[in-house]
Amino acid sequence: MTSSSQHSPGEPLVPNVKQALTRTERELLLQIIPDRIPAHVAIIMDGNGRWARRQGFIDRIRGHEAGSQSVREAVGTASELGMKTLTLYAFSTENWQRPAAEIKALMLLLEKFLREKIGELNENNVRLIASGRISDLGPKVVRVLNHAIDATSANTGLTLNLALSYSWRAELTDAARRIAAEARNGTLDPDAITEADISARMYHAELDDPDLLIRTSGEMRISNFLLWQIAYTEIYVTPVLWPDFRRRHFYEAALDYQKRERRFGKETRR
């Protein structure tokens, strides 16, 4: 896929940013090339627990609370930059193994975000979708999530894709089950299965693959995230912990991405 944005080449970005910017933010923003903004950015939001510990909090939930603010800022920034899709790894299938109190707090934070931010998502023309084994979240969260999805479904700006009870292996397993069922009932010929057939059975097959994957907190891992979709995605790892990840850090990631030469395995330009 190619990178694109909703801005025309040469159009300055600054007027599209609603918020008053600091000098650093403005300087960074002015360096961003509008027609080379990554269209789809995926983020592994890591480091909430470490952030809480470093702040002296005993409860790591304080890190998740602070991380919710970063989610809000990242959505605003992605939207202002004219990105098409922002996929956030909010809760993995592995996260179900965390202590019950932490899971409960994370579900409450998600519910709070979904209840309180619908207005803001609509103001910013953001459409919400979710990827993962959504029914695992339980009927209450599913109801609130579906309401937020419905309430924002007509928006045409940024698509915010929340990965919830998500893991790549679960996504692949679910796709394999669908493919096997279709082969069994005769609607899919096993000998003729193509890569496109597999892509079409991902949770949100309509989304283009991510152009840029950001991981916060410095860990060099993919953690079971979108492994099919990131085959040619540029990876950016920052030591910044997710609760500290601000607009400026998002700009830095976009600028770093713009320095990359994407070849998709094809010949080099020498």
DSSP sequence for 191-215: GG--HHHHHTTSTTTTSPPPSEEEE
Give the range of 22-30, 60-68, 74-82, 119-127 binding ligand FPP by CB under 6 A.
Answer: 60-68
Shortest Å distance, C-beta 106 to ligand FPP = 6
Name residues contacting ligand FPP, limited to 207-226 (CB under 6 A).
217
Alpha helices (runs of H) in 81-220, residue ranges in sequence order = 100-116, 118-123, 139-151, 168-184, 195-199
Return the range that interacts with ligand FPP (CB under 6 A); candidates 22-30, 40-48, 172-180, 250-258.
Answer: 40-48
The answer to whether residue 47 forms part of the interface with ligand FPP (CB under 6 A) is yes
Catalytic residue among 16, 59, 95, 136: 95
**Residue 182 is encoded by which pair of tokens?**
């279709």
Residues forming beta bridges with residue 131, ordered by sequence position: 163
Q: Which residues does residue 212 pair with via DSSP β-bridges, in sequence order?
A: 41, 234
Residues 110-149, mask of contacts with ligand FPP (x by CB under 6 A)? x--x------------------------------------
Whether residue 244 contacts residue 74, with contact meaning beta carbons closer than 8 Å, is answered with no
Active site residue 95: yes
Is residue 90 a contact point for ligand FPP (CB under 6 A)?
A: yes
Q: What's CA 149's distance to the chain center, in Å?
A: 16
Tokens representing 246?
């601000």
- Pick the closer one to ligand FPP by CB: 165 or 229: 165
Which residues between 231 and 270 bind ligand FPP (CB under 6 A)? 242
User: Considering the complex, what minimum distance in angstroms separates the CB of residue 64 from ligand FPP?
Assistant: 5
Place of tokens 């790549």: 168
Could you tell me which of 18, 38, 241 has the C-alpha nearest to residue 120?
18
Query: Smallest gap, in angstroms, from Cβ of residue 2 to ligand FPP?
Result: 28
Q: Which is nearer to ligand FPP, 39 or 45 (CB)?
A: 45
- Name the segment binding ligand FPP (CB under 6 A); options: 42-50, 79-87, 187-195, 196-204: 42-50
Distances (CA, A) of 226 to 47, 90, 103, 163: 19, 13, 22, 10
Question: Reduced to 3 states, what is the DSSP secondary structure of residue 153?
Answer: coil
Residues labelled as active-site residues: 46, 95
Site of interaction with ligand FPP (CB under 6 A) = 45-50, 60, 64, 67-68, 71, 88, 90, 95, 109-110, 113, 162, 217, 242
